Amino acid sequence: MTPFLAQVMSQHQGKTVMYTVIGTDWRPFGHPRARRPINSVVLDGGVAGQILDDVRSFIASASWYRRRGIPYRRGYLVREREEMERIKSRWIYCP
């Protein structure tokens, strides 16, 4: 590994890189951000554990998707109540 590559990787270690679509390509968006602890996310009882279990299972199944030619990606729609009448929706995407 080159010293430059090692330096870049160390700057991203422990952080999340956000991506956005430009045309048909996914490109990094902004600077790497510190990861948010899962216990800081307020969800109904057991939902965080179910999502984490599903993500771990998905990550472990990459070869299953590749063997079948199925795109290897997963998305979650998480809705949060901002006020009584408005609901915000967020996509969480696992490439």
pLDDT string in tens for the chain (95-residue length): 688 878 877 777 888 887 888 888 888 888 888 887 777 777 778 888 888 898 899 889 989 988 999 888 887 776 666 654 444 545 555 55
**In Å, how far are 52, 68, 73 from 42, measured between CA atoms?**
14, 36, 25
Do 90 and 57 belong together in one domain? yes
| Alpha helices (runs of H) in 1-95, residue ranges in sequence order | 3-12, 47-60, 62-68
Which domain covers residue 31, as residue numbers? 1-35
Do 25 and 47 belong together in one domain? no
Tokens of 25: 């390509």
Cα-based angle 49, 91, 84 (whole degrees, multiple of 5): 85
Which three-class secondary structure state does DSSP give residue 15?
A: strand
The closest of 2, 19, 92 to 51, measured between CA atoms, is 92
Do 47 and 91 belong together in one domain? yes
Do 42 and 86 belong together in one domain? yes
| Per-residue pLDDT, 93 | 55
Do 22 and 41 belong together in one domain? no
Do 69 and 42 belong together in one domain? yes
| Per-residue pLDDT, 91 | 53
Give the Cα separation of 95 and 6 in Å (integer): 23
Are 61 and 39 a contacting pair, CB within 8 Å? no
Query: What's the number of domains the chain is made of?
Result: 2
Do 26 and 58 belong together in one domain? no
Give the Cα separation of 42 and 71 in Å (integer): 30
